[in-house]
Structure 1
Amino acid sequence: MRSRTEGMWWGTAIEAPDPGALARFYSELLGWPIGHEEPGTAVVVAPGGPVYLVFQQADDYRPPVWPPAEGQQRPMMHFDFQVGDLDSAVADAIALGASPAGHQPQENVRVLLDPAGHPFCLCKEADEAGGVVQDGS
Structure 2
Amino acid sequence: MTDDAKARGSVSAQRWNRKDWWGVVLDTDDVEKLARFYSELRGWPIWKMDAEDAALDLGEGVAYLSVQRNPDYVRPVWPAKEGAQQMMLHLDFQVTDLAAETARAVALGAELPEHQPQVDVRVLLDPAGHPFCLYI
TM-score range, shorter chain: 0.7 to 0.9
- Partner AA of 1:95 in structure 2: A
**Per-residue deviation at 1:19?**
1.2
Structure 1 position 88 matched with structure 2 position 100: yes
Moved over 4 A (4+): none
Aligned alpha-carbon RMSD (Å):
1.2
Once the two structures are TM-superposed, the CA of residue 7 in structure 1 deviates from its matched residue by 7.0
SS in 2 for 1:93: helix
Q: Which amino acid aligns with 2:47?
A: G
CA deviation after TM superposition for structure 1 residue 60, in Å: 1.0
Q: Distance in 2 between matches of 1:23 and 1:10?
A: 17
The sequence identity of aligned pairs, in percent, is 52
Instruction: Report the Cα offset of residue 9 of structure 1.
Output: 1.6
Displacement after TM superposition at 1:10 (Å): 1.0
* Structure having the larger proportion of residues in helix: 2
- The residue type equivalent to 1:115 in the other structure is P
State whether structure 2 residue 37 is matched by structure 1 residue 21.
no
Q: List gaps (5 residues or longer) in structure 1.
A: 1-5, 125-137
CA distance in 2, matches of 1:94, 1:15: 20
Q: Which residue of 2 aligns with 1:109?
A: 121
Distance, in Å, in 2 between the alignment partners of 1:91 and 1:7 is: 38
Matches within 5 A, 1:1-137: 8-124=20-136
| Partner AA of 1:22 in structure 2 | L
TM-score (ref. length: structure 1): 0.83
Task: Specify the SS of the correspondent of 2:103.
Answer: helix
Partner residue of 2:14?
none
Q: Aligned to 2:38, what secondary structure does the other structure show? A: helix
